[in-house]
A and B are shown apart, each in its own frame.
Chain A
Amino acid sequence: MFGATAAAMVVIPLITGGRYVPTVMASIVLFFILGALFDFMLGYLKIVNFGIAGFLCAGAYGSALSVLYLGVSPWLGLAIGGIASLVLGVVTGALTLRLRGIYVGLTTLFVMESLRYTILSGREFTRGASGLIVDPFTPLLGLTFSRRDPITYYYLLLALAGAVYVCLHVIVRSRIGLIFKAIRDDELGAGVLGIEVVRYKLLNFSIATFFVGVFGAFYAHYIGILVPTTQEFGVLRTVEILVIAYIGGRGTLWGSFLGAILLVGLQEVFRDFAEWRLIIYGAALVAIIMLFPRGLAGGVLQIMERIRSLRPLPNVPRQHNRNATE
């Protein structure tokens, strides 16, 4: 499944060519990986990072400003963006992750807003609301990164996102991932067994914020202009990412891919009806929470289970022990 999807993501823009398809697919990949990173925190440790757009912002501005003022290469900027977001994440996490979950959500929300207001106010340095122009990536290994031809950006993003996804996948399948799930399902119990709950939460939060920062830096050089609005780096961007993770299905990582395809697809279909698009976002979110808590991924898993159960099974007599379960 994974191989086929990855192959399709590589091949489709080659077949279609042009600018439109790679651009749309780039948004799908970007939203997918951000959704997966959100899910890495939410679905595995119940950490609600309501300020994820703030970490994206830290990465984007971290890279853009260091390229502009320190003259470093945008490629190094990817690492700088990651580290900028990581530092913010470690400080925020170290101070809040030992509190109840709701405090993490609120603190990250205000960290995001403080950062955004600071960028808005520090006009001389960040150009504030008039927007910071960011240089594109410099040529590497004979590849040029021109904004007129988004295909090289797309493949760079696909490679980055693929690598990060594999990394997250390995972590959640490892011993560490098992500990994450133990903490998620019973925090007190895990603590009693000698697991250092706060340390694992901090580990998870640091990994996620670092990668979010890297994609923020990529975004800066890809999009070319940074504006600290709530659509870009505020509540609305966070909500978009959160909706993708929820609709995709929490606790799966790959569910966000389905969520991203659905939402970016809707965005393209409803391009002329912006307000309808957002109403559908909201309605989808409410419907998922009320009716389909496992999201699209849950639906897919259910269908796969159904297919599996169609295969002939050894004839086991059904047990009717209704009285025992009541």
Chain B
Amino acid sequence: MSDTVILLQLTIDGLTRGAMYGLMATGLALIFGIVRVINMGHGELFMLGAYAMYFVTAVLGIPPLAGILISAGLLFLVGMALERGLIAPLRSRLGENWLVDGYVLTIGLMIILQNLALMVFGPREFGVASFWPGRVELGDLVISNERIVILGAALALATALGVFLNYTLLGRAIRATAEHPRAAQTLGINIANMYTLTFGIGAALAGAVGAILLSIYPAYPTVGGDILLKAFVVVIIGGLGNVWGAMLAGPLLGLIESYSTAFVSGGWQNTTISLLVILVLFLRPQGLFSRQVARP
């Protein structure tokens, strides 16, 4: 294989992986940007999506594309219930100064969900070999169908979210709430509903990604930890609460990861990425893709 083919292969690999990181991080950024909570339980929402996908497709025999929609729908409901039941009461009690408590609350959620999954499903991995077997060959370049579907699904979801946020009344209401909650309320937007809806959308994205990636990350109780850390990396690189930044930074992280496997040996990859994040936090805490000039 020539060097260009290897480079292309690594690029495609990095882009598919990164597209998924991007979607996870988009949910996280959306929730942080609008609900103002750092959702430490986001990885567990991914885990629930993966379990849902397994049971819907492998046990009930429903086709995978429908499975993705069902997982996303279920997690949408779970997310809205969590916001209404726990986060909304906390916000209304503490007012402005609730950021830290919200963060710790989601840590509690993370622990509960992780260990409930351990009790209900056990430590065993639930996975499927491949939803879409087969591959496409272009000369020396080999791309599995699975990757094409993943990349396509990521693009479709990102586009759908973009259209929703930019061109629908509801999406604009959500953005108005992010911009200035009180002004939005004055204009007749029910901001409590916007918070609930946003949390639901963020959770649905995590569930969809968990479902789509089931063949790569099988469902097991602690699968969310690794993914959450990746999503955090993306959110920090893209800028906290910056949805578009997260969408761009996801593929960037995927590419960095995939190129670095070619240059750095195994375990050091994680160190490199963590150090990169620390560097971004020090030099450009507002994120790489933010127009904000002042340091936050």
Contact = CB atoms under 8 A, between A and B. Distances in A.
Interface of A: 42, 46, 48, 95-96, 98-103, 105-107, 109-111, 113-114, 117-118, 120-121, 230, 235, 239, 242, 246, 275-276, 278-279, 281-286, 289-290, 293
A99 B274 contact: no
Contacts of B103: 48, 102, 105
B267 A103 contact: no
A282 B285 contact: no
Contact of A279 (B90, B112, B285): B112
A111 B275 CA distance: 8
24 contacts: A48-B103, A95-B281, A99-B295, A103-B296, A107-B278, A109-B232, A110-B281, A111-B278, A114-B275, A117-B268, A117-B270, A120-B270, A121-B271, A246-B104, A275-B115, A276-B119, A278-B111, A278-B115, A279-B116, A282-B108, A286-B112, A289-B90, A289-B104, A290-B89
Nearest to A105: B103
Contacts of A275: 115, 118-119
B81 interface: no
A65 to B, nearest CB: 17
Interface string B16-27: 000000000000
Contact of A239 (B89, B107, B278): B107
B281 A96 contact: yes
B115 A279 contact: yes
A283 B236 CA distance: 29
B296 A99 contact: yes
B171 interface: no
B77 interface: no
B281 A106 contact: yes
B271 A114 contact: yes
Chain B interface extent, by class: 35 or more
A101 B281 contact: no
B205 interface: no
Nearest to B101: A289
A120 B267 contact: yes
B265 to A, nearest CB: 8
B275 A283 contact: no
Contacts of A285: 104-105, 107-108, 111
Contact of B225 (A109, A114, A230): A230
Contacts of A111: 278
Contacts, number: 112
B212 interface: no
Contact of B232 (A106, A117, A284): A106
Contact of A290 (B105, B229, B271, B282): B105
Given A101-B100, A106-B281, A286-B109, 13 more contacts: A95-B282, A98-B295, A105-B38, A106-B38, A114-B271, A121-B270, A239-B111, A275-B119, A278-B114, A279-B119, A282-B112, A285-B108, A290-B90
Given A99-B295, A107-B278, A235-B225, A48 B100 contact: yes
Given A99-B285, A230-B225, A117 B267 contact: yes
B281 A107 contact: yes
Nearest to B277: A110
Nearest to A42: B100
Most buried by B among A95, A109, A275, A289: A289
B78 interface: no
Nearest to A95: B282
Interface in B7-49: 38
Nearest to B118: A275
With most chain B CB atoms within 10 A of its CB, the pick from A105, A276, A282, A283 is: A282
Given A275-B118, A286-B109, A100 B296 contact: yes
A281 B116 CA distance: 12
Contacts of B109: 282, 286
Contacts of B115: 275-276, 278-279, 282
Interface string B234-274: 00100010000000000000000000000000111011001
Given A102-B240, A120-B267, A282 B111 contact: yes
B197 interface: no
